[in-house]
A and B are shown apart, each in its own frame.
Chain A
Amino acid sequence: MNTSLLAVPVVAPILGAAITVLVGVRRELQRVVTVAVLSVMVVVAALLLARVDEHGHLVARAGGWTAPLGITLVVDRFAAIMLLVSTIVLLIVAVYAMGQAGEERERVSFHPLYLVLAAGVSTSFVTGDLFNLFVAFEMMLAASYVLITLGGRPDQVRAGMTYVVISLVASTLFITTLALLYAATGTVNMADLAIRLGEVDPALRHGFSVMLLIVFGIKAGLFPLFFWLPDSYPTAPGPVTAIFAGLLTKVGVYAIVRTQTLMFPPGRGGADWGDDLLLWVAGATMVVGVIGAIAQDDMKRILAFHIISQIGYMIMGLGLFTVAGVAAAVFYVIHHIVVKTALFLVAGLVDRRAGTSRLSSVGGLVRTAPVIAALFAVPALSLAGLPPFSGFLAKFSLTDAGLASSSHAIVAVGLGVGLFTLFSMTKIWTGVFWGDPDTVPERTPQTDDRFGGPLPMVLATLCLVAVSVVFSLWAGPIHELSQRAAVDLLDSTGYIEAVLGGGAP
């Protein structure tokens, strides 16, 4: 069939990045290219999702080399869902960045970097090769290193150092793990690894499982490995922070879900302690993240700590290792990408409007900028898990799955953390939107004050909030889709046959 469609998410953004470099000085042309490329990616991702949902896995073999030899690109339902949601978010945030006076305007390098980041993210979703996943991660991270320090302000340089060094350590660990995996099995193709890992010593397999968990856990911000995240994310330019918060950690979660379900399924000679390990990690991640958030005084940092606690929920779904649990995790991931990005976009609007995002120095925005307040309220309540928003549905299905496999402790932790999340959101609300507007520093009124900011920024935020509302309206079909994705994930034979079987390309 038409597998060439599969190469688009990898090739298009790289080509786009090259073109945006060539037309460097013409900012309008750069914008046209970026929006065009990302729109094409959204369409292709939607087509891929429709195809995959109907016909099952789609496999493309790069250069026509058959599976264990060449690099394969594989899309299953989970990958297609992630691809679609992430490209939509990338497109919306690109528009937001164009409305903002900041790095996008001043620097030629913003657009190429943004597109390379997009390439890295989408390649990580479609690749079926562990080393290619490493390369995709590096693409994404190299772009993110530059984006996070774009501007070269002192706090950015300080935060950038932490971020770059910790990411490099994770990458080095990744290479080490790859080397050991290759030495033990002689392959880096994920489907092939899934088969051959079944033949190696169980103790060795546990070791690989944990090493990959650590590698991806650093990127995802899991419990003992999260400390770099709240320090580094908030210092980047607004839209960059939003995309990092929404996507980068979720790429880590995707990689964890992919490798743990495909290569280390439970019940094949005892990854049994591994399941419990994941649940413990999930619980600790939730609790530590939310407690960290309570101590903060800066809106962006509160939100950054909440990324961590939310990652815990996704890992909890995976840790249950049931269809319901993994389905809930899939739903949670896509809900969270949209909602978290929207919240950071609002934080950017607040920052622009009030000159700071510190709770102690902002106030009264509900009167001076009601649009921003409304845009904050929906995703904030959704994040806290209040009905009828998508966060409630995500948490509900997760709780349901947890009770079904009688993991009561983790369910209790999840619900308690949800309460604290609500507390944090209320804290932001009272700090930023209520209170005395007098504390806001003097500023000259601007023509766009009526909307709360420049129109592209506000509209982009509105779009993203609308997407999150769509999630709650269409929760039924989307949840069924995640259920089908979870069935695929837990029964890896389909994936393995699609990649290794079939013979000729």
Chain B
Amino acid sequence: MSLLLAVVVAVLFAAGTWLLLQRRLTRIVIGIGLLGHGANLLLVTSGGRAGRSPVLDGTVGDPAQYSDPLPQALALTAIVITFGVTAFLLALGYRSWQINRDDKVEDDIEDRLVSRRHRTDGPEGPIDDGDPDTSEFEVGEGQVS
């Protein structure tokens, strides 16, 4: 049984990693989800053999018969966190689609500028086109106090 779980974990990790390397955010989100499932499953598996549910119901037996509750608690915490962050990532993807009508993860603007400067002109060449406004302020921003 443990071997089956190990194989499932491996498949989840492999598929998750492959999806993570794609350029579209939707695929990346699914990839993150798969990776998260894989990690959580691994966490549960790390508790060792499955046993009786870890609730003391009066029929006190050998403690070794119960399964380990700690990894389950940890996995529960991790699942909640993964869930919340995945929801945020989806919202981010939606926002990206609103702005660009696309959910492709783009290269960094500055990186593109730096590499273009290297390609096209000398050491002091100004960047005359596509100069992005990286400021969070409007020029001549109004009265502030």
A residues with a Cβ closer than 8 A to B are 100-102, 131, 134-135, 138, 141-142, 145-146, 149, 151-155, 157-162, 164-165, 168-169, 171-172, 175-176, 178-180, 182-183, 188, 231, 234-235, 237-238, 295-298, 300-301, 351-352, 355-358, 360-361, 441-444, 446-448, 454
B residues with a Cβ closer than 8 A to A are 20, 25, 28, 32, 35-36, 38-40, 42-43, 45-48, 70-71, 74, 77-78, 81, 84-85, 88-89, 92-93, 95-96, 99-100, 105-106, 108-111, 113-114, 126-127, 131-145
Q: Sorted from nearest, which 10 A-B pairs have the closest CB atoms?
A: A355-B139, A183-B46, A443-B140, A175-B39, A179-B43, A179-B42, A179-B46, A231-B108, A182-B46, A101-B144
Bound complex: CA A153 to CA B39 (Å): 33
A163 to chain B: closest residue by CB: B92
For the A-B complex, the count of residue pairs with Cβ-Cβ distances under 8 Å equals: 159
In the complex, are the beta carbons of A360 and B126 less than 8 A apart? yes
In the complex, are the beta carbons of B110 and A180 less than 8 A apart? no
In the complex, are the beta carbons of B74 and A152 less than 8 A apart? no
28 contacts between A and B (CB under 8 A): A100-B144, A101-B141, A142-B85, A146-B88, A154-B99, A157-B96, A159-B108, A162-B108, A165-B28, A165-B32, A165-B105, A168-B36, A168-B89, A169-B32, A172-B35, A172-B39, A176-B39, A179-B39, A179-B45, A182-B46, A235-B134, A297-B127, A351-B136, A352-B137, A356-B134, A357-B135, A360-B126, A441-B140
In the complex, are the beta carbons of A172 and B32 less than 8 A apart? yes
Please name all residues of chain B whose beta carbon is closer than 8 Å to the beta carbon of A358 when the two chains form the complex: 131, 134
Bound complex: CA A153 to CA B95 (Å): 9
Q: Which of B35, B46, B142 contacts A180 (CB 8 A)?
A: B46
Residue of A175, A183, A444 with most chain B CB atoms under a 10 A cut-off: A175
A116 to chain B, nearest CB (A): 12
- Knowing A101-B144, A168-B85, A360-B126, the reply to whether A351 touches B135 (Cβ < 8 A) is yes
A360 to chain B: closest residue by CB: B126
A181 to chain B: closest residue by CB: B46
Q: Which of B45, B113, B141, B143 contacts A297 (CB 8 A)?
A: B113
- Knowing A157-B96, A231-B111, the reply to whether A165 touches B42 (Cβ < 8 A) is no
Bound complex: CA A134 to CA B75 (Å): 12
A445 to chain B: closest residue by CB: B140
A134 to chain B: closest residue by CB: B78
Please name all residues of chain A whose beta carbon is closer than 8 Å to the beta carbon of B132 when the two chains form the complex: 155
Residue of A146, A172, A231 with most chain B CB atoms under a 10 A cut-off: A172
In the complex, are the beta carbons of B42 and A176 less than 8 A apart? yes
Please name all residues of chain B whose beta carbon is closer than 8 Å to the beta carbon of A237 when the two chains form the complex: 136
In the complex, are the beta carbons of A155 and B42 less than 8 A apart? no
Please name all residues of chain A whose beta carbon is closer than 8 Å to the beta carbon of B84 when the two chains form the complex: 142
Bound complex: CA A168 to CA B88 (Å): 11
In the complex, are the beta carbons of B88 and A179 less than 8 A apart? no
In the complex, are the beta carbons of A145 and B139 less than 8 A apart? no
B32 to chain A: closest residue by CB: A168
A375 to chain B, nearest CB (A): 18
Bound complex: CA A361 to CA B99 (Å): 27
A102 to chain B: closest residue by CB: B136
B105 to chain A, nearest CB (A): 5
In the complex, are the beta carbons of B88 and A164 less than 8 A apart? yes
A237 to chain B: closest residue by CB: B136
